[in-house]
Amino acid sequence: ACYIARHNHCDCDGALVASARAIRDDKSATRAMRDEAELLIATFAVPVCKIFPQGFMPPRDPAQLKAMNGATG
């Protein structure tokens, strides 16, 4: 939702990584889930968002995305 709402992607990436760190550090989470969280953290280790703060793709209209999702889902 953060990315679709046209927020700064660096902020969205930071929130996503913070959530992944919480999952990685949660010993009650499954090993597979913690591994996925670790992969996500590694993926966002390079701050690409500093170069492309609004992402690689042009901003999308949330209403248009919802209509497209309804047509395919």
Residue 2 lies in a domain: no
Determine contact, residues 69/61, Cβ cutoff 8 Å: no
1 is a domain residue: no
The answer, yes or no, to whether residue 50 has pLDDT greater than 90, is no
Q: How many domains does the chain have?
A: 1
Count Cβ atoms below 10 Å from residue 19 Cβ, excluding itself: 12
- DSSP letter, residue 63: H
pLDDT at 58: 61
Give every CB contact of residue 54 below 8 A, 6+ residues apart in sequence: 6, 8, 9
User: Is residue 57 in a domain?
Assistant: yes
Q: Which two structure tokens, joined as six digits, stand for 25?
A: 């550090």
**Residue 9, pLDDT above cutoff 60:** yes
Q: Does pLDDT of 21 surpass 70?
A: yes
By residue range, what is the domain housing residue 40?
A: 9-72
pLDDT of residue 51: 78
pLDDT at position 68 over 80: no
36-40, 54-58, 68-72, range with the lowest pLDDT: 54-58
Phi first, then psi: give them for residue 61, nearest 5 degrees.
Answer: -75, 120
Tell me if 29 is assigned to some domain: yes
